[in-house]
Chains A and B, each alone.
Chain A
Amino acid sequence: MNNKIALELRNITKRFGTKVVANKNVSLTLYKNEILSLLGENGSGKTTLMNMISGIYFPDEGEILIDGQPAVIASPKDAYRYKIGMIHQHFKLVDTFTAAENIILGNNEPYKLKVVNSRVKEIASKYGFDIDPQKKIHEMSVSEKQTVEIIKVLYRGADILILDEPTAVLTPQEIEKLFAVLRRMRNDGKAIIIITHKLNEVMEISDRVSVLRKGEYVGTVNTSEVSEKMLTEMMVGKKVDLKIDRVSVEIKKPLLEIRDLTVKSDVGTTSIKDVSFYIRGGEILGVAGITGCGQKELCEAIAGLRPIASGSIMHDGSSIVGMSTREIINRGISMSFIPEDRLGMGLAPSFSITDNMMLKTYGDGHGPFVDRKSARARASALIDKLSIVTPSTETPVRRLSGGNVQKILVGREIESGPNVIITAYPVRGLDINSSYQIYDILNEQKQKGVGILFVGEDLDVMLALCDKIMVLCHGEVMGVVHAAKTTKEEIGLMMTGSLDKSELKEYGKAKDSNLSEEEWKNAEKEMEE
């Protein structure tokens, strides 16, 4: 390995205001020809540190050395001059522009798209990307957008690449592709820093790992010499148990029963087709599937946010089709959906934690005035329970890091005491410790007899946590399997549609249904009318 130092950080400190210290005395070394993972819990200052290298923030103390020379990176322009390129977690692309237009943005080169297109294709073939330079960004999938971001920095000749949680929104296949590209870039002499929470990815892709904890530098280790468990301990600062328990609970009657549900997408295509399933109280039903297979539409249909085309949704023996969202919430069905960009759903960003706690319970108070006192108590209880990192209960939510925002959303939904929880990607982008806290909360709810629909990404987690797993492929059910009796490979095959177990038995109908077959038929008739 070529051991030339590409980038060195010495004693970097960054504060936001007087209270928040995002980075404290952080030192870091990055070599050429290597992939370095930057690991840390939510709010440990990884993104802030990287933003200082890419010129978005300026450090309050400390120095940055590039190729052994002290460098002053006061703006993104400076960063480009030092051949540093950052691929942000929230893509920085102009939606209405084409890929090529985005790539030359700020480049000060002639506006000749033909030249740009051919150079882009050259870069793409060198590292194995797949891209159409003339496609507009708003027509692209998430992984295509990410490709544009990476090519954008390569086009500018970046030698140091920083990727902020690049895998959070990709499918397993897309991740494989990305990693292949990253390896090719490393072998080409680039220095790469990758921020990720997923330990298996850290082990797979990186040469060395640097760990931050609460804004402070913990240490750097060679990936080949450590285990996932050791990394977790470095990150959290104490021993952690990496086992998810599947608590066994006495079987109860079905709480939510869905039969032959068909739901249309925003553009009118069918996203959920003839889906039938049921959730018992005290049961976690996992929903596996490649992103965009109708998970979102299914959740929204149950929560009353999206009209259904046909079928029936029964809660505790009576139909909830056509009820308003408020009525459905009052029946005890709560939904928390974490979208791909992790922002913007369910919380008001400029409201404080306290005010966000009140958003769903505004109707409960007496008299015309808001009851901040009890909301504040609930907010601080939540902060303690989920160890949310925040200066106070009155801090606007948008000032917190992504993971902490998510904990508030999921926490609020559970706190309202539902009997059915619909949760989609609750741990998306969360670090290990926070993820396990969320799993614990779900298990706790399960023990209380709550029925849980868990739409997830990580198959390992779903196999350990869920009782049963329903696999979706293009909006159709490929079967429901018992988590204890199946394998990751089997589910993988079902996800891509190569294995269809839905014919094997009447998977979606509970024997002890709350309704008799006759009543189901009547409900069906009513729907048709």
Chain B
Amino acid sequence: MLTSVIVNAIRMGTIFLFGCVGEILTEKAGHLNLGIPGIMCIGATGGAVAVHLFGGKVSSPLLVLFAIIFTMLFAALAGFLYSFLTVTLQANQNVTGLTLTTFGIGFMKFFSKRIYDQKFFVSLSSAFKNLFGLEKNTNPFVQIFLSHGILVYIAIIVAIICAVFLNKSRRGLYLRSIGENPATADAVGINVSLYKYTFITLGSAIAGLGGLYYIMDRSGGTQIAEAPIDSFGWMAVALVIASMWKPLLAAFGSIVFGGLSILDAMLTTLPLDKQKIFAIFPYLLTVLVLIMTSVVKNKNNQPPASLGLSYFREER
């Protein structure tokens, strides 16, 4: 029982982890991208397009690869659009992000209806699941660590790479300085706009993978148009705060969030309305973390100082 809870928590958490790491990179560049839920939908659509085009025509590993590339391309394009609006045109980040989310949800519904064939997608979903072929093994260790699809491992690897990049590398230092104080970064000769574009776009591409993971692995290809990816996206944004902008903490946090978000489904003995109450747990946790970080005013756990602010060099 416990093993299956952990396994499901990890898998559920993977969706959040992709979105969260993507958003962390974006926020470290000083941009609050509330379009992440929509970008995850757009990413999922990209993956569905790849499956639709190549499914049955190429081998399974190639199909997974194409799906990943398409997902990242679609999501990156959305992120690029967001960058153009908020970096170059200095549009309000909140409004732009929320609009992008609304757009992304509609985009997914519109296109997936035209290309989605449930039988076809379900049959191809096995390519995304169970990387090592050990899903039937009942050993708890194997279940917890080796029974997942490839995207689960990619998510964790991406989180680790991001943590190392942000804390140990020169370019990571530059990126953080932009989120903290873009005028400073500019004055020492760092190309602020280039960094912002690069990491907002890259962050979006990573977030998009969360959508792909949901439709092809977690849900096993059973739903696209009605997939609640946007609500997972909001959880991912909440996880950024709960993990205090630290990718490694986000990896653990995603499992906690994953566990909390499947709680309602596990408590099947309770009446439905009482089950649903447990869905607020992840948000409750986020609020608690917010309160704690505000009370303990440690400078190292605060959001990037110029998060949400546009930067224009000649502003006085």
Contact = CB atoms under 8 A, between A and B. Distances in A.
Contacts of A398: 316
A136 B180 CA distance: 14
A136 B305 CA distance: 15
Contacts of A75: 189
B316 A111 contact: no
A16 B181 CA distance: 24
Nearest to A109: B170
B170 A92 contact: no
A381 interface: no
Contacts of B302: 96
A56 B316 CA distance: 11
A54 B185 CA distance: 14
B180 A111 contact: no
Given A92-B181, A93-B184, A95-B181, A111 B189 contact: no
Nearest to B315: A398
A136 B299 contact: yes
Given A76-B187, A106-B174, A57 B314 contact: yes
A109 B302 CA distance: 27
Interface in B173-215: 173-174, 176-177, 180-181, 183-190
A56 B177 CA distance: 18
Contact of B190 (A88, A95, A106, A152): A106
A94 interface: yes
B268 interface: no
A127 interface: no
A436 to B, nearest CB: 26
A92 B180 contact: no
B180 A96 contact: yes
B181 A111 contact: no
B180 A97 contact: yes
B114 interface: no
A398 B315 CA distance: 9
Contacts of B316: 16, 398-399
Contacts of A104: 170, 173
A105 interface: yes
A65 B65 CA distance: 55
A342 interface: no
A105 B184 contact: yes
A97 B180 CA distance: 9
Contact of A94 (B181, B189, B300, B313): B181
B308 to A, nearest CB: 16
B136 interface: no
A507 to B, nearest CB: 39
Nearest to B190: A106
A78 B168 CA distance: 27
B169 interface: yes
B269 to A, nearest CB: 48
A42 to B, nearest CB: 14
A141 interface: no
Nearest to B172: A111
Given A97-B180, A111-B170, A76 B186 contact: yes
Interface in A61-114: 75-77, 79-80, 86, 88, 92-97, 101-102, 104-111
Nearest to B188: A106
Nearest to A400: B316
Interface in B265-298: none
Nearest to A107: B188
Interface string A162-185: 000000000000000000000000
A509 interface: no
B189 A93 contact: no
A372 interface: no
B189 A96 contact: no
Interface of B: 168-170, 173-174, 176-177, 180-181, 183-190, 299-300, 302, 305, 313-314, 316
Q: Please list the 7 inter-chain residue pairs (A to B) with the smallest Cβ-Cβ separation, ordered nearest first.
A: A77-B189, A106-B188, A92-B184, A111-B170, A94-B180, A106-B190, A106-B189
20 contacts: A56-B187, A56-B314, A88-B187, A92-B188, A94-B176, A94-B184, A95-B181, A95-B305, A96-B299, A96-B300, A97-B180, A104-B170, A105-B173, A105-B174, A105-B190, A106-B174, A106-B190, A111-B169, A111-B170, A399-B316
